[in-house]
């Protein structure tokens, strides 16, 4: 492995010790992006100058004996729904094209304080609404494992950036699976923390009661370090959990001996056979590692998707009302204010966003609230209760992350419901606010393009159960073939990398 393409933790250690420079590490990633991102389109914006300036200042701090932090000089990619001060943040929507936030998201400040170097903003389904990154106003991101396939979504750009070896780390946001599903489809680690673990301040809202920011990484250990950096209480977010972030890195090597792990029956229903096979291999591996593994029923999780596709659009319909052409973003002029609002929104939002705004507006409207939104909130209660019942007997649960491996670009765009079904395994824990992560676990059957695409196994834990979840995740990783790493390595060996240090 090239010295400059180390996992994040090792890279930071090498930079902190002065063994390699942050500038050379960042330059290597930028040149990688410049040569290969044209075909993958993970990034909507690459911040060459800003990244090199930040890397220089990391090196300066190292030179003066300061510690720039646990992610010193580590290149990171940010989903373009995270506000970066003075740097365009668009949610991949025409309506916000070119908008420069006058403030920084809490996670971004924390990354900078930890020494991480933001190298670019990544593609997403417009306003994070989608499961394939095909709904972006700025083009479709391709799966680095098979360019004819989607990377998943909505954080497809971040997942692809890590899978392609552009950055060892990336941030995404997960509302109903938008980190975990693309992580699975791209063969990287993706984590959705407990709702409230990571500040949402500066994350452009899709559905406020569900949105969580979380890491993408090539390893569970890197993901743990990144979550430690971005997590913990933030007074700017009223829903931020006051408890301090525990040390996740410490619990990674502990194995699963004596743990009780449940395989969620409902979430295995209807998944493709190759995915199902990997999930059952994962349970066997856990049993082999000394855990008790049993099938468990979480009955209400069957209604997760139904509740999710009312709750998320309802909140979104309200969150997206602010894009009206008055204060920022796009405007389409018209004769009066109302007509201007209508013209702007009609021209500025893509079809999927409109669909969800209308669905959510309908679910909340007079005469329909009880039958739709109100009912979904009650189903949400049942899902939480059923999960909590399962956690009386199990420390953690496992399930598939996605019902299938990555699918062909364009294959699910005609039928919204079919696309929504991509989230069926991930939405229940989103509704519960529980943490869940996807860990790459081998690959699926060979597809039409003669490629075996990655499979992700999902690890679920009760609220605040990140330590348990990471312990299980790290164990699964240790027994799995790390598809992402092998792909990234292949890509790297084909490139001639210039480096000062290595």
Known catalytic residues? 79, 154, 178
Q: Residue with structure tokens 């996670």?
A: 107
Closest CA to 12 of 22, 2, 23: 22
- Least Å from the CB of residue 239 to other proteins: 6
**CB within 8 A of 306, min separation 6: which ones?**
376, 379
The 10 Å Cβ neighbour count of residue 147 is: 13
Which residues are CB-neighbours of 267 under 8 A, at least 6 positions away?
A: 298, 301, 399, 400, 424, 425, 428, 458
Q: How far apart are CA 69 and CA 67, in angstroms?
A: 5
Q: Are 130 and 158 in contact (CB under 8 A)?
A: no
Pair type for strands 189-192 and 436-446: antiparallel
Min separation Cβ 422 and other proteins, Å: 14
Cα angle 171, 435, 250; round to 5: 80
73 vs 350, which CB is nearer to other proteins?
350
What DSSP line would sit under 337-352, residue for residue?
HHHHHHHHHHHHS-HH
The sign of the dihedral angle between the CA atoms of 360, 366, 368, 373 is: positive
Kindly tell me which of 145 and 302 has the beta carbon lying closer to other proteins: 302
CA distance 389 to 381: 12
> Is there a contact between 172 and 496 (Cβ–Cβ < 8 Å)?
no
Instruction: Give one DSSP letter per residue of 150-181, joined into a string.
Output: ---SSSHHHHHHHHTTS-SEEEEEESSSTTHH
Q: Cβ distance 178 to 429 under 8 Å?
A: no
Neighbours of 381 (CB within 10 A): 13
Distance CA 80, CA 110 (A): 17
Task: Work out the end-to-end distance of the chain between its first and last CA atoms, rounded to an integer number of angstroms.
Answer: 11
Q: How far apart are CA 277 and CA 281, in angstroms?
A: 6
Torsion of CA 214, 220, 225, 226, to 10 degrees: -30
214 token code pair: 């979380």
Q: Which two tokens stand for residue 472?
A: 């299980």
Q: In whole angstroms, give the CA distance from residue 293 to residue 136.
A: 40
Which residue, among 451, 437, 460, has the nearest Cα to 483 in the 3D structure? 451
Q: What sign has the CA pseudo-torsion 9, 175, 132, 36?
A: negative
CB 34 within 8 A of CB 248: no
> Are residues 221 and 9 in contact, defined by beta-carbon separation less than 8 angstroms?
yes
């Amino acid at each position: 492995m090239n010295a400059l393409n180390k996992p994040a933790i090792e890279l930071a250690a090498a930079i902190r010790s002065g063994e390699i420079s942050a500038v050379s590490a960042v330059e290597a990633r930028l040149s990688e992006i410049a040569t290969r991102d044209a075909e993958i389109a993970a990034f909507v914006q690459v911040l060459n100058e800003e990244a090199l300036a930040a890397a220089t200042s990391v090196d300066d701090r190292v030179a003066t004996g300061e510690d720039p932090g646990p992610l010193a000089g580590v290149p990171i990619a940010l989903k373009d729904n995270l506000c970066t001060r003075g740097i365009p943040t668009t949610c991949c929507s025409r309506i916000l094209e070119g908008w420069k936030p006058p403030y920084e998201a809490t996670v971004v400040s924390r990354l900078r304080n930890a020494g991480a170097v933001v190298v670019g903003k990544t593609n997403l389904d417009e306003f994070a609404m989608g499961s394939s990154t095909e709904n972006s106003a700025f083009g479709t991101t391709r799966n680095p494992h098979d360019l004819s396939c989607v990377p998943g979504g909505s954080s497809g750009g971040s997942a692809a950036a890590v899978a392609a070896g552009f950055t060892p780390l990336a941030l995404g946001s997960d509302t109903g699976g938008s980190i975990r599903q693309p992580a699975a489809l791209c063969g990287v680690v993706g984590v959705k923390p407990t709702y409230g673990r990571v500040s949402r301040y500066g994350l452009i809202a899709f559905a406020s009661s569900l949105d969580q920011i979380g890491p993408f990484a090539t390893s569970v250990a890197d993901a743990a370090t990144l979550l430690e950096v971005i997590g913990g209480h933030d007074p700017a977010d009223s829903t931020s959990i006051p408890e301090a972030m525990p040390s996740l890195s410490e619990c990674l090597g502990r194995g699963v001996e004596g743990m009780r792990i449940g395989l969620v029956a409902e979430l295995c229903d209807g998944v493709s056979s190759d995915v199902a096979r990997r999930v059952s291999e994962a349970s066997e591996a856990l049993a082999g590692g000394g855990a008790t593994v049993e099938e468990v029923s979480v009955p209400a999780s069957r209604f997760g998707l139904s509740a999710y596709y009312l709750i998320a659009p309802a909140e979104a319909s309200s969150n997206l009302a602010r894009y009206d052409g008055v204060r920022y973003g796009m405007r389409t002029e018209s004769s009066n204010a109302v007509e201007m609002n209508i013209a702007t929104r009609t021209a500025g939002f893509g079809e999927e966003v409109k669909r969800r705004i209308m669905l959510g507006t309908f679910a909340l409207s007079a005469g329909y609230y009880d039958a739709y939104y109100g009912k979904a909130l009650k189903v949400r209660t049942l899902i939480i209760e059923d999960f909590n019942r399962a956690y009386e007997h199990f420390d953690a649960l496992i399930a598939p992350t996605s019902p299938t491996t990555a699918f062909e670009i364009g294959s699910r765009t005609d039928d919204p419901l079919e696309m929504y079904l991509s989230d069926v395994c991930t939405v229940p824990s989103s509704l519960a606010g529980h943490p869940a992560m996807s860990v790459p676990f081998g690959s699926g059957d060979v597809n039409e393009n003669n490629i075996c695409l990655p499979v992700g196994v999902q690890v679920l834990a009760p609220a605040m159960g990140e330590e348990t979840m990471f312990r299980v995740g790290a164990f699964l990783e240790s027994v799995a073939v790390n598809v992402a790493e092998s792909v990234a390595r292949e890509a790297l060996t084909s490139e001639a990398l210039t480096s000062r240090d290595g």
